[in-house]
Structure 1
Amino acid sequence: MAEAQRASEPVNFVHQDEIWKAHVNAEKDLAEVWPKKWGFLSEVYKEYERESNNLKKAASAEPPKRPLTPVGPSPPVPRTSQAVIGWRSAHSHLCLERSAMVHHGRRSFLKELGWPHQA
Structure 2
Amino acid sequence: MATNVEESKPINFVSQDEIWKTRLKVEKESSKIWPHKWGFLSEVYIESQRKGAGLRDAAGELDLPPHLRARPPTPAEKYIHVSPSPPVPQTTQALIGWRSSQPHLQLEVYGKETHGRRSFLKELGWTLESCT
Instruction: Give the shorter-chain TM-score range.
Output: 0.3 to 0.5
> What's the TM-score once normalised by structure 1's chain length?
0.45
> What's the TM-score once normalised by structure 2's chain length?
0.41
